Amino acid sequence: MNYMEEYKKWCESPEFDEETKKELLEIKDNEKEIEDRFYKELEFGTAGLRGVIGAGTNRMNKYTVGKATQGLANYIVEQGTGNKGVAISYDSRKMSKEFSMQTALILNANGIKTYLFENLRPVPELSFAVRNLGCTAGVMITASHNPPKYNGYKVYWDDGSQIVAPRDKDIIAKVRAVENYSEIKEITRKEAEEKGLFNIVGTEMDDKYLSVLKSKVLNPDIVKEEGKTLKVVYTPLHGTGNTIAERLLHEIGLENVYVVPEQKDPDGNFPTVSYPNPEDKKAFKLALELANKVDADVVLATDPDADRLGIFAKDSKTGKYMEYTGNMSALLIAEYRISQMKEKNILPKDGMIITTIVSSNLTRAIAKEYGLECIEVLTGFKNIGAVMKKAEENKDKTYVFGFEESYGCLIGDYARDKDGIAAVMALCEAACFYKSKGKTLWDAMEDIYKKYGYYKETQVSIVLEGAEGAEKIQEMMTNMRNTNIEKIGDYKVLEFKDVEKDIVKDMKTGEIRKTGLPKSNVLYYELEDDAWCCVRPSGTEPKIKLYMGVKGTSDEDANRKLEELKNAMVAIVK
């Protein structure tokens, strides 16, 4: 069925309600809009189902959510694990509460027990709850850091990690097998409650989750002492973060926590930010204004589902607030926590740091310094979770730290997704520790660079929307894949890695070996002098993403090298 036939079906079939039909009839003369809404069905990418809210197969609405849930239910029933239950949470986005309730009741209609949070909660608490409750799966209704028009649907499995291959493909197959929306089963909440299938999760889960996080503090006495004077500005960017973040910081001993008042309450319209993403400096406007007013030491922001953390820290020498990339903030936490674990003789001998192939090479240097194994996986925290699960099953490695450059890390094995709430706590602990030594967080970052070298990274996203954009992205990847690139800017290519074809080519000898990674549309270039580049299409947004990193002898040297490499890479891709 082509997109126009699918559109007509949605406009005419009794399967769809009048509100949906009215919305679609308003675009009857806009073929480009019709095509974008119906040219494909939403698919699971690195973070599950995600799309613009609205009517259509390529949109987030009660029909696409219903189909996804019925497919998931069919899979769980086939596995025979429905009695273990499914934990469900949601963020502050439009329709999140409605989608979460719909998800719970469809699962209940299929005889599957659910545990729905009484109100919105962060992603990491959902991951924790899946493990704590012994559930077979979890669902989080969120579009993470996407613009306000988006929503999404993340599926987790019993280890608390987002679904990975082959399970993700099996679930997708079940979703696709639901051909008619009339196949979606229904039940009322009253009936589901009477059957003991519908359960509400309250603040008792917050208590359990926060208790585990507080147990991860390495220097509680220093935090209590320095927390009397350390000043922290925090913003949840209208999301879930402040359901528990402010409480956590006060409980570990921070007395001066300032939450940005205009952004404190959950609001799916995100009225003060066009893009609720802590990777975007503009999202920090109000937080930085408050920081200047109260003379804060640290400025923190979490995205709407609170799995990502962005930070600024004050440079006492200049008085300016300095921005950290996701690599910088995560590796600052890593260096602090690992060095303290070593000092306290609690660093495991079989310890591992897990990161992604597009994250900083500084990770390898830190791992080497402390005798830890550095494991690199494909983009998506679910791939880090998969390594954690395997190590847990084999009992051969101990998880110490994991992160990806997209502003997400996890400081312990209590969950299997990145945790912005724990990162807020860890950054504040590090700030207290360095303050006790007469240093700021920015001083600590400078010390890391002096110790290991000036590693700098950046990324470029080229947005190409719609069917034409998807085709163009594919064409760009094909051209790169089929071109023998021996030099990028001033750097010789040492190795070329095509993860889709599962090959690594030594550019000097021509020798070819396997990548050891699952197949994925990713191209990676290992360059001279610890520099690198990587290209891949986004799994959740209509864009092609370019990543790159360099190592310099100074801040200025690294920044110059990075800018030159970025320009060279963009020229090759375009």
Q: What per-residue string of b and e applies to 102-135 under the rule 16 or more CB within 10 Å gives b? A: bbbbbbbbbebbbbbbeebbbbbbbbbbbbbbeb
In the residue annotation, 211 being an active-site residue is answered as: no
Three-state DSSP state, 376: strand
Do residues 216 and 124 lie in contact, with contact meaning Cβ atoms separated by under 8 Å?
no
CA dist., res. 443 & res. 430, Å (int): 12
Do residues 304 and 91 lie in contact, with contact meaning Cβ atoms separated by under 8 Å?
yes
Q: CB under 8 Å to 18, separation ≥6 — which residues?
A: none
Q: CB under 8 Å to 31, separation ≥6 — which residues?
A: 4
- Torsion, CA 34, CA 39, CA 41, CA 43, rounded to 10: -120
Query: What token pair was written down for 171?
Result: 């679930």
Its sign, for the CA torsion 264, 215, 436, 552, is: negative
Three-state DSSP state, 304: coil
Do residues 135 and 118 lie in contact, with contact meaning Cβ atoms separated by under 8 Å?
no
Q: Is the link from the previous residue into 166 a cis peptide, with omega within 30 of 0?
A: yes
What distance, in Å, lies between the first and last C-alpha atoms of the chain? Answer: 33
Closest CA to 125 of 242, 232, 264: 242
Among residues 89, 127, 144, 406, the one annotated as catalytic is 144
Active site positions, annotated = 144
